[in-house]
Amino acid sequence: MNADKRNAIFSRLRELNASPETELRYKNPFELLVAVILSAQATDISVNKATDKLYPVARTPESILALGVNGLKPYIRTIGLFNSKAENIIKTCRLLIEKHGSEVPRTRAELEALPGVGRKTANVILNTAFGEPTIAVDTHIFRVSNRTGIAKGKTPLEVEKRLVRLTPEEFRKDAHHWLILHGRYICKARKPMCGECPIIDWCEYSKKELS
């Protein structure tokens, strides 16, 4: 895919949604961090249901740490892998208090040093909480990037590096949200809704299907 097509795709996505946002509900970087840790292999809807119950009770590193692993589990029991996620969140709360003054760090290295936080989660925090032009590649973005031809790659890291390099700077900050929403609602895994796709004119997948 050439630069003109990428520009056209992101321009169209911006026309449709000038200020894209995550569908996770949060009020500060710490709440977002907890929500993103919970979101691994879970839907945003299920995470929001859990945090809607958790945050009125505990929404700071200190208050969640005070719950302990066993006290946290009942709030997140409906989410997959809740046992390991509860342990990671409690360990992360302790580290935030001890090493970061209860604040979410703003560097990738410090974020990835937190239990339950990998590269994708760190990218989400850097982008969504702090406005950094990072792109977190989840299953939706990996699929959309390869299917459309925006940035092909065999691994999420390969796709991420190509996206960051090839996405025009003016679109880079919002590209993560545009692509994930497009993959979630239009470019679905099993049955992509090509008939409703706003970027079909530049999509390599649609051209293969029609040929």
Q: Which pLDDT band, with edges at 50, 70 and 90, does 105 fall under?
A: very high
In a domain, 95, yes or no: yes
Q: Which pLDDT band, with edges at 50, 70 and 90, does 205 fall under?
A: confident
52 & 115 share domain:
yes
199 & 117 share domain:
no
**Per-residue pLDDT tens over the stretch 114-154:** 999 999 999 999 999 999 999 999 999 999 999 999 999 99
Q: Once rounded to an integer, what is the mean pLDDT over residues 59-78?
A: 97
139 & 122 share domain:
no
In a domain, 123, yes or no: yes
What pLDDT is recorded for position 208? 61
**Per-residue pLDDT tens over the stretch 11-57:** 999 999 999 999 999 999 999 999 999 998 899 999 999 999 999 99
Q: What's the CATH code of the domain at 187?
A: 1.10.1670.10
Question: pLDDT above 90 covers what percent of the chain?
Answer: 93
Show which of 129, 156, 189 is a domain's final residue.
Answer: 129
The catalytic residue among 138, 154, 161, 207 is 138
Alpha-carbon span 66 to 60, nearest angstrom: 10
Q: Which pLDDT band, with edges at 50, 70 and 90, does 207 fall under?
A: low
Instruction: Write out the residue range of the structural domain in which residue 170 sits.
Output: 3-19+135-210
What pLDDT is recorded for position 211? 46
What pLDDT is recorded for position 4? 92
120 as an active site residue: the answer is yes
Q: Tokens 């989410």, residue?
A: 79
* CB distance 160 to 135 below 8 Å: yes
174 as an active site residue: the answer is no
* CB distance 128 to 39 below 8 Å: no
Distance of CA 168 to the CA centre of its chain: 20
Alpha-carbon span 127 to 164, nearest angstrom: 12
Residues 6+ apart with CB under 8 A from 206: 194, 197, 200
In a domain, 119, yes or no: yes
148 & 66 share domain:
no
The 8-class DSSP code of residue 104 comes to P
* Residue type present at position 56: P
What pLDDT is recorded for position 65? 98
Q: Which pLDDT band, with edges at 50, 70 and 90, does 71 fall under?
A: very high
Show which of 76, 108, 129 is a domain's final residue.
Answer: 129
49: left (phi over 0), alpha (psi -120 to 50) or beta: alpha
Cα angle for residues 156, 172, 203 (degrees, 5° grid): 65
* CB distance 108 to 135 below 8 Å: no
The catalytic residue among 99, 120, 152, 161 is 120
Residue 209 in this model has a pLDDT that exceeds 70 = no
Provide the total of helices (H) and of strands (E) in the chain, helices listed first: 11, 0
In a domain, 24, yes or no: no
**Per-residue pLDDT tens over the stretch 141-198:** 999 999 999 999 999 999 999 999 999 999 999 999 999 999 999 999 999 999 999 9
Exposed/middle/buried for residue 132 (C-beta within 10 Å: 0-12, 13-18, 19+): middle
